[in-house]
Amino acid sequence: MLNTHVYGPDEPGAPTVLAIHGVTGHGARWRRLADDELPGVRVLAPDLRGHARSTWEPPWHFEQHVADLVTVLERHGVTDAAPVLVIGHSLGGALACRLAHARPGLVRGLLLVDPAQGLDPEMCLTIADQTIEFFDFTSPEEAKQDKKSGAWERVPDEVIDTEIAEHLVRRDSGRWEWNIGCAAVTALWGELARTPVGAPAGVPTVLLRAERANFVTEGQLAAMPAGTEVVPVDADHMVAQEIPAVVGEHARRMLG
């Protein structure tokens, strides 16, 4: 079972968003977007399998993650009569597209935030190897500097500090790790090399493409159906943390 953070009014009839985080993330990353950008909206933000407070047990393939997400929606009363907007970041974008194919009646639209699919296998192997080699840190300060040297460079310090408080844990060894399963995360980099799956035809889809990142491949764009709205945004990969107002603007528009 997935641990699911619920933000906004948890009541029948409230417009609902399913927010899916990326590899190494957690559901609480969506709290700022929910609180600041989506007032009056119920946001369901699960910790994916292998991450944070959810089970870390395998399998970790796309199909299991989609099945987990269906269970989350059904547990929170989502039906074909009241489908949700799905916001998916990175890995979450790949899962959002597959969820829309598996259970189209539950999905009213897709907001794909720098989604990652069909990545170069050699790159995925390199990142998987680095995940194993550099999995922990000597201190929270080292973890913060690691974030700021990569895709979190322009994310405000207070957002990174919240990330550390929520998601960094000290192990019995005395070293610090993000609260994720190394095996699960390594396996997911293999999944991200799989052939891209586009959104189903007829499902309103907006794809926010981070101009300072390289996760949205040409293969992924080619898999998207005609009518997909591709929006370039001046951000690195952590779009919702760097410029949440842009994500919020598109989400509100899609919710009507």
First to last CA, the chain: 31
pLDDT confidence of residue 74: 96
Question: Could you tell me if 208 and 240 are in contact, meaning their C-beta atoms sit under 8 angstroms apart?
Answer: no
Whole-structure pTM value: 0.97
Q: CB under 8 Å to 40, separation ≥6 — which residues?
A: 8, 9, 14, 15
Residue 29 confidence class, pLDDT cut points 50, 70, 90: very high
Q: From CA 49, how far away is CA 68, in angstroms rounded? A: 8
Q: Token pair for residue 27?
A: 């559901």
Q: Token pair for residue 228?
A: 């997909």
Q: From CA 24, how far away is CA 167, in angstroms rounded? A: 10
Percentage with pLDDT > 70 across the chain: 100
Q: Is the dihedral of CA 153, 157, 159, 160 positive or negative?
A: positive
Q: What is the pLDDT of residues 130-172, one digit of tens each?
A: 999 999 999 999 999 999 999 999 999 999 999 999 999 999 9
